[in-house]
Chain A
Amino acid sequence: MSAGAPLPLPLPLLAAAAVAAALTFAGSRFRGVLAGPRDSALYRLVVYALGGQLALHLLLTGLGLAGVAWRLPAVAAALAAAAALAWRWLPAPADRTRLPSDLGWGEGLALGACLLFTAFALSLWIAIPDFVYHWGLKGHRFYLAGGVDYRYLAAPWNWVVHPDYPNLLPELYAVTAMAAGRFDEPAMMLWSAFCFALLLAAVREALRRTAAGGLVTQAALAGIAMALAAYGIGNQSAGGADWLIALALAAALPPLLSPVDRRGAAQIGVIAAFAAAAKVEGVALAAILIGIYAARAPWRRFKAEPGEAWRIAATLGLPAAAVILPWLGAVWRYHLFGAYNSGPLAPERAGRVLAAMLDSLQGSWWGFGYGLALLPLLALDRRLRAVAAALLLQLLFYLYVYLSVPFDAVPLVAASFPRLVMHLLPAALTGAAIALERPAGGARVPDDVSVEKVAAWG
């Protein structure tokens, strides 16, 4: 991998790392709302990172609506102001926790897999073609234009760049380019590696929180990391937004596996909004996550406290609404929605589409993709029902898309389904690992936990 390899220059890479760190730090200013005692330090980093990136997206959207060009001083000042306001007005932060210092063998393997993926990503050899066709192109264009260039997106021939997609990833690329002073491809690849690392941290937290045994935790983490790295390296995945959706689903596992509480609602709210800002399928995922978490909440208990119910509903739904409404407005205003995206549902295609979905898994996932068949089984474990529901609904959404596109879906399935499996598989395999083992003593979750749920709201 040496001769002719594009050597990553350290300055843009440092700039990308600095942007990621700054956004995570900005997200940590919301820790009084987003993190609680049961969240490990690594999971807090996950939530802070997602919160920071979401805050950046909202700020850039706001700057765009105000007609202010994206320039580094303006973006940095706006982000600092938002973080300062959060620091001043949000509740006191949760107690401090320490990063783990005693990594097990599985965590070591997972770290190694992530570093291997990062090395390949920085070489650009595993850059996803869509980085060239639209993600990277949009990021570079937005960087040069100082904002989302809707006139560019709306050009009739630019339907190929998916002009109707949400723009979080190109925005991250644009801000990284601003910090680096130029659009540097290896620096952009660092975002995929960052998402991979955060995903593994979220998986670890889910395993930890469900009291999975040491062997299960270590083996699951190592296996998931290596399977994901194998797919990522072998199938050119770096630089695409699929990492963001996979990260969102993995990050949603801990709150979905825990008793419902206000902090979990805030975490789901941020994660859902992050997903909605990342991709069109993330908008569906946002609705699914919010719906499932809301369905678990003991709303009847809130009759005596309607204000509390409204606060919870706002915590869950407002971040996603703040992302989705401006996006829909822009899509409508600039006529960005592609006519090829959706048509009437054609259930008669189901047989061919399902066969194509199965075919597409051959040769791309080393058999791990068939793990999605375990999803209905996950629902047998009471702890995992919310997770199973989220994954199944998201899978059904993909099936719906394949059954409704106004052209032959089979080539589309072959080209896209392995990537979509990447969204679901880390969370599905984590759920399967959790289902393998019950906590010590065989304790079971009581059938009716609503009283405890209410207690946990406080």
Chain B
Amino acid sequence: MSLRPSVAARRGQADGPCDNRRRLPAGTKPLVRLGLGLFVAWAGIALAWETGASLQGWDTREPNRTPFLWRLGTAPVARLRLCLNGVEGFLPPGSAAVFASPEGDYSAAFFRWRWAAYLLPDLQLSPADDLLGWQAASYLIAYRTLPAPPPGASLVLIRPLEGGRLYRIHHP
């Protein structure tokens, strides 16, 4: 291998660990300085604004937002968690269940189902509008609603939940 200096070395860059400030260019152009200053100032303003807005959002968080806008630690999630506490650990792990909740704006039932799936990760949770899910499921978690089972199937109440009910699904 050649012992010629590397490209980096010829360009004035040290190959080894180096202190950047030891090889500063003679000076940064005024226009570049201005541009960098504006960039840093704008980024600082953006960060300060977003921090303030986020803090304000936390302080004024609404208790009854549509599920599309739910966040961890908010009241609607806590209510759903309270309901699902009656299911967690009660059903065998890996059980298939249908989760039903009222329809609403912004696909409310869909997003409640996603949150329920997150809160019950050991269950195979399907939405109430999925026929395959009904066929595979042995249980129904009804949150503030009671859907009609598919033709031929019947529901037997297992236990009431906080704001809902847990049923066993009997298939024909």
Chain A residues near B10 (CB, 8 Å)? 443, 446, 452
Q: Are B114 and A211 in contact, with the CB atoms below 8 A?
A: no
Query: Is the CB of A162 closer than 8 A to any CB of chain B?
Result: no
Query: Is the CB of A5 closer than 8 A to any CB of chain B?
Result: yes
Q: Are B8 and A38 in contact, with the CB atoms below 8 A?
A: yes
Please give the distance in Å from B75's CB to the nearest CB on chain A: 8
| Inter-chain residue pair count (beta carbon < 8 A) | 200
Residues B10-49 near A (CB distance < 8 A): 10-21, 23-26, 28-29, 32-33, 35-37, 39-40, 42-47, 49
Q: Are A40 and B17 in contact, with the CB atoms below 8 A?
A: yes
Q: Are B1 and A457 in contact, with the CB atoms below 8 A?
A: yes
Known contacts A144-B121, A440-B24, A451-B2, A211 near B50 by CB under 8 Å: no
Q: How far is B28's CA from A226's CA once the two chains are assembled, in angstroms?
A: 22
Chain B count of residues within 8 A CB distance of the other chain = 63
Among residues of B, the one whose C-beta sits closest to the C-beta of A104 is B21
Please give the distance in Å from B43's CB to the nearest CB on chain A: 4
Query: Is the CB of A449 closer than 8 A to any CB of chain B?
Result: yes
Known contacts A40-B17, A156-B130, A222 near B47 by CB under 8 Å: no
Q: How far is B19's CA from A326's CA once the two chains are assembled, in angstroms?
A: 43
Q: Are B40 and A222 in contact, with the CB atoms below 8 A?
A: yes
Q: Are A125 and B121 in contact, with the CB atoms below 8 A?
A: no
Chain A residues near B149 (CB, 8 Å)? none
Residues A188-223 near B (CB distance < 8 A): 207-217, 219-220, 222-223
Q: How far is B114's CA from A208's CA once the two chains are assembled, in angstroms?
A: 45
Among residues of B, the one whose C-beta sits closest to the C-beta of A440 is B25
Known contacts A6-B73, A213-B25, A259-B6, A230 near B13 by CB under 8 Å: no
Q: How far is B20's CA from A144's CA once the two chains are assembled, in angstroms?
A: 48
Q: Are B24 and A219 in contact, with the CB atoms below 8 A?
A: no
Q: Are B4 and A213 in contact, with the CB atoms below 8 A?
A: no
Please give the distance in Å from A207's CB to the nearest CB on chain B: 8
Chain A residues near B25 (CB, 8 Å)? 211, 213, 437-440
**A-side interface mostly:** helix
At the interface with chain A, which of B54-62, B153-161, B162-170?
Answer: B54-62
Q: How far is B18's CA from A439's CA once the two chains are assembled, in angstroms?
A: 15
Q: Are B114 and A227 in contact, with the CB atoms below 8 A?
A: no
Query: Is the CB of B117 closer than 8 A to any CB of chain A?
Result: yes
Chain A residues near B36 (CB, 8 Å)? 215-216, 219-220, 223, 433, 436
Q: How far is B117's CA from A124's CA once the two chains are assembled, in angstroms?
A: 18
Q: How far is B11's CA from A40's CA once the two chains are assembled, in angstroms?
A: 18
Among B19, B39, B47, B71, contact of A219 (Cβ-Cβ < 8 Å): B39
Among B12, B28, B32, B58, contact of A443 (Cβ-Cβ < 8 Å): B12
Among residues of B, the one whose C-beta sits closest to the C-beta of A457 is B1
Residues B117-166 near A (CB distance < 8 A): 117-118, 121-122, 124, 126-127, 130, 132-133, 136
Task: List the 8 closest pairs (A to B, CB-CB), nearest first.
Answer: A234-B50, A458-B1, A226-B43, A219-B36, A230-B46, A366-B46, A140-B121, A455-B2
Please give the residue numbers on chain A whose beta carbons come within 8 Å of chain B beta carbons, in ascending order.
1, 4-6, 37-38, 40-41, 97-98, 102, 104, 106, 109, 113, 116, 120, 123-127, 131-133, 136-137, 140-141, 144, 152, 155-157, 160, 183, 185, 207-217, 219-220, 222-227, 229-231, 233-234, 236, 258-259, 366-368, 433, 436-441, 443-446, 449, 451-458
A-B contact list, 9 entries, CB within 8 Å: A37-B15, A37-B16, A116-B51, A157-B126, A216-B28, A223-B40, A230-B46, A454-B2, A455-B6
Please give the residue numbers on chain B whose beta carbons come within 8 Å of chain A beta carbons, in ascending order.
1-4, 6-8, 10-21, 23-26, 28-29, 32-33, 35-37, 39-40, 42-47, 49-51, 53-55, 57-58, 71-73, 93, 114-115, 117-118, 121-122, 124, 126-127, 130, 132-133, 136
